[in-house]
Amino acid sequence: MAATVRLQRAAQESTSKQGQEGASLQGKIKNALDEARMLVLGSEVLVGAAFRTFFQPGFEKLPAALKGALAGATGLMLIVLMLLMLPGPYHEITEHGQDTKALREFVTHVAGLALAPFALSLGAIVAAVMEPTLGLKAAVGLAAGGVVTALVCWYGIELVARHLKPREREMGQNQDDEEEKPIPVNDKILQVLTEARVVLPGAQALLGFQFISMFSDSFSQLPESSKLVHVGSLAAVALCVVFLMTPPAYHRLVEDGEATEAFHRFASRMTLLAMAPLAFGLCGDFFVVLRKVTNAVPGSCVGAALMLTLFLGCWFGLTYALRRRHDRPKLALART
């Protein structure tokens, strides 16, 4: 009986502690990052599946409009992936791994923004997949209905709920528990390792799709230059996987599993470094897709280059620019 009472008391204390953490700024940021991370893996798998679609025998039978729609859907899914992975660089570069109110707002806005191209991309994929079975008009109608349903569920319901509860939302935003505090190195390491763990399975899945594509009949018919670009993209994604698997090895072999600031810096840099070859790998295969659909090398180069600029510009350029803007007042205060 006494043991049961102790277990119940421990469970109540644990629940109370979790509730306090969830109400704190750190708890809210953790929830926001976890929600964004839930979408990252699915997006990476969908990107890999989209790349694989262009090498299937049924792709050549699609109408030209649906081929273009699939290429556009792949581009949109890449933008979704770029947006969903943006909080990681922002957290490590702009906010120096600290939990801030600006980080919470940034994650919320970015995750919400990513859902719109996600819905449009899924609609285009549904139309292409259903066309051979239902016909063009029925497939497009089904896809349009799916897009509308997704947008209503992802935006409409939330907008109505926010309109009905403005006072409660304002009270929640003014709570005193949303205090910005330096987080322990253990928590910083946990966050950066979680970011690496979320990216790694998707990169491995993408690598598997790239390997499989090389054994398809459609791949053997590609121009030699496209084959070389695909091989380069495969190597870039493989390099990304190697970089992401380096922090755990370093943690065990160098730090003996201890949580140190030096390991946090190393893990953060390796995770950020892995994102550069991932961008090149994704955009390289996007060039292959565009060239296969349009058969226009200059236009495909421009499209892939623009996508690469978007990836690198947002992941590194934007985050470093925001970091300098955030640090400028602190530097001025320190000098005075």
Q: What is the pLDDT of residues 71-84, one digit of tens each?
A: 999 999 999 989 98
DSSP string, 274-301: HHHHHHHHHHHHHHHHHHHHH--HHHHH
Of 144 and 336, the structure prediction assigns the larger pLDDT to 144
Percent of the chain scoring above 90 in pLDDT: 26
11 band by pLDDT with thresholds 50, 70 and 90: very low
- Domain locations in the chain as residue ranges: 22-335
For residues 283 and 310, give the distance between their C-alpha atoms in angstroms, rounded to a whole number: 10
Q: Tell me the average pLDDT across 325-334.
A: 61
Of 92 and 183, the structure prediction assigns the larger pLDDT to 92
Of 72 and 50, the structure prediction assigns the larger pLDDT to 72
pLDDT at 35: 74
For residues 85 and 165, give the distance between their C-alpha atoms in angstroms, rounded to a whole number: 30
pTM: 0.81
Of 165 and 56, the structure prediction assigns the larger pLDDT to 56
Q: Could you tell me which residues come within 8 angstroms of residue 28 by beta carbon, excluding any fewer than 6 positions away?
A: 22, 104, 178
For residues 9 and 72, give the distance between their C-alpha atoms in angstroms, rounded to a whole number: 56
Q: Which of 10-14, 24-28, 88-92, 185-189 has the lowest mean pLDDT?
A: 10-14
Q: Which of 129-133, 182-186, 309-313 has the lowest mean pLDDT?
A: 182-186
Radius of gyration of the chain (CA): 23
Q: Could you tell me which residues come within 8 angstroms of residue 128 by beta carbon, excluding any fewer than 6 positions away?
A: 53, 62, 66, 67, 69, 70, 73, 139
Q: Tell me the average pLDDT across 306-327.
A: 90
Q: Is the Cα torsion angle 86, 33, 190, 169 positive or negative in sign?
A: positive
Whether the pLDDT of residue 176 is over 80: the answer is no
∠ CA 279-285-289, nearest 5°, is 135
Q: Tell me the average pLDDT across 157-168.
A: 73
Percent of the chain scoring above 70 in pLDDT: 85
Whether the pLDDT of residue 326 is over 80: the answer is no
